[in-house]
């Protein structure tokens, strides 16, 4: 599989600000996640529409947690620990693409066995976007990759200069928040990540 670069909204920028950046860097990004834990379904739906209006197709959009919104717009869904379980989602929303966020070897195997289409595994490095937890490094990632067949993207403190390490440990791509959203020049930052992931 072609390696992927995912960008996640961070709940700090407005949806409009996120969509404006997304529209500009669309060529570099494989998946845009709306991860908005404080917004209502209606507000998240408006965010999906903003991305669609920027020319981002629904296949490139991932809605975090809200399977109802994802289903309504034919996007993927990203399931967290507090979300509906992936087997329930796959059973009741046939054909939906569902990613799972996992933080351990055990959870990665369980999510894969229950039908997840891809995993976000983290957090690999320390990150200010989720403070207070030490980075896990790449050891467990390599073990997960030996056991699951679905793509495993890494998340947490991913920077252009640590991509080589995670890719050589077997990651199928990376998911990023601050490295792009809060870069001085998000376009240039997205280009730097993309160069390392896609070439
Ligand atoms: C949203 C998120 N999930 C994580 C996990 O480990 O599941 S780490 C994380 C934050 C990623 O932000 P940044 O790219 O700024 O480090």
Q: Do residues 171 and 158 make contact, with C-beta atoms less than 8 angstroms apart?
A: no
Label residues 38-73 b or e (16+ Cβ within 10 Å = b).
ebeeeebbebbebbbeeebeeebbbbbbbbebbbeb
Q: pLDDT per residue over 47-104, tens digit each?
A: 999 999 999 999 999 999 999 999 999 999 999 999 999 999 999 999 999 999 999 9
Pocket test for ligand 1, best of 37, 123, 176 (most atoms within 8 A of CB): 123
Query: In the predicted model, is pLDDT for residue 132 greater than 90?
Result: no
Q: Which atom of ligand 1 is nearest to the CA of 122?
A: 6
Q: pLDDT per residue over 105-122, tens digit each?
A: 999 999 999 999 999 999
How far are the Cα atoms of 20, 32, 76, 90 from residue 95, in angstroms, in the given order?
A: 30, 19, 10, 7
- Residues with catalytic annotation? 123
ipTM, 2 dp: 0.98
Query: In the predicted model, is pLDDT for residue 130 greater than 90?
Result: no
- The third-level CATH classification (topology) of the domain covering 4-198 is TIM Barrel (3.20.20)
Beta-bridge partners for 176: 7
Q: What is the mean pLDDT of residues 174-190?
A: 98
How far are the Cα atoms of 25, 77, 161 from residue 49, in angstroms, in the given order?
A: 17, 15, 34
Residue nearest to atom 8 of ligand 1 (CA): 156
Alpha-helical regions (H) of the chain:
15-25, 41-53, 67-73, 86-92, 105-113, 139-147, 163-168, 178-181, 186-198
Tell me how far the alpha carbon of residue 33 lies from the centroid of ligand 1, in angstroms: 12
Ligand 1 touching residue 124 (CB < 6 A): no
Ligand 1 touching residue 156 (CB < 6 A): yes
């Amino acid at each position: 599989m072609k390696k992927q670069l995912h960008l996640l909204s961070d709940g700090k920028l407005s949806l409009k600000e996120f969509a404006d950046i997304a529209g500009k860097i669309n060529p570099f990004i494989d998946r845009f996640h709306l991860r908005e834990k404080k917004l209502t379904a209606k507000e998240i739906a408006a965010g999906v529409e903003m991305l669609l209006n920027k020319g981002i197709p629904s296949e490139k959009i991932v809605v975090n947690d809200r399977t109802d919104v994802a289903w309504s717009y034919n996007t993927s869904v990203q399931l967290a620990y507090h979300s509906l379980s992936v087997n329930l989602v796959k059973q009741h929303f046939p054909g939906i693409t569902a990613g799972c966020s996992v933080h351990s070897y055990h959870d990665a195997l369980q999510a894969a066995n229950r039908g997840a289409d891809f995993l976000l595994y983290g957090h690999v490095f320390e990150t200010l976007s989720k403070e207070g937890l030490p980075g896990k490094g790449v050891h467990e990632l390599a073990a997960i990759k030996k056991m699951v067949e679905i793509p495993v993207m890494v998340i947490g403190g991913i920077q252009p200069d640590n991509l080589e390490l995670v890719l050589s440990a077997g990651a199928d791509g990376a998911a990023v928040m601050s490295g792009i959203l809060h870069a001085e020049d998000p376009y240039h930052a997205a280009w730097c990540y993309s160069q390392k992931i896609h070439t």
